[in-house]
Amino acid sequence: MTEENQTCPKCSSPYAYNDGQLWICPECFNEWNPDASSEEDSTPQFVDVNGAQLQNGDSVTVVKDLKAGKGTIKSGTKVKNIRLLEEPVNGHDIACKVDGHGSMYLKCSVVKKA
């Protein structure tokens, strides 16, 4: 932490400031320790409801009924070829197509690896 000015590793903002042990970005609210391994911090961990690691292209099964527009995605619905999002959308970190419902976002906490 000897650098006077750090840029945010998440959004590249030049306005990051040091707050004791961590650097903080006022634009995206990212906090990081420049002394820690940057590769470890920047790699998001995507795990399903059982703790299994998810990857792009995996198939998952929905573990509870989800309201989707006027319909409902039933528990046990299989979703193929998921895409994990680096930047979550309203807390949702999976982009996918669900048969009968179209394209949508899901959370890792409501799926299990198939």
> Domain segments of the chain: what residues?
1-43, 60-113
pLDDT confidence tier of residue 2, bands split at 50, 70 and 90: very low
**Mean pLDDT for the chain?**
86
pLDDT surpasses 90 at 8? no
pLDDT surpasses 60 at 80? yes
**Residue carrying the six token digits 């046990």:** 76
Q: If we measure between CA atoms, which residue out of 106, 49, 100 comes closest to residue 82?
A: 106
Helix (H, G, I), strand (E, B) or coil at 41: helix
- Each residue of 9-62: pLDDT tens digit? 888 888 889 888 888 888 888 888 877 655 554 455 899 998 899 999 999 999
Helix (H, G, I), strand (E, B) or coil at 26: coil
Q: pTM of this prediction?
A: 0.62
What is the DSSP track for 86-114? EEEETTEEEEEEETTTEEEEE-GGGEEE-
Q: Could you please state the CATH topology (level 3) that the domain comprising 1-43 is classified under.
A: N-terminal domain of TfIIb (2.20.25)
**What top-level class would CATH report for the domain 60-113?**
mainly beta
Helix (H, G, I), strand (E, B) or coil at 38: helix
Instruction: Residue 84: count other Cβ atoms within 10 Å of its Cβ.
Output: 17
Q: If we measure between CA atoms, which residue out of 56, 76, 57 comes closest to residue 66?
A: 76
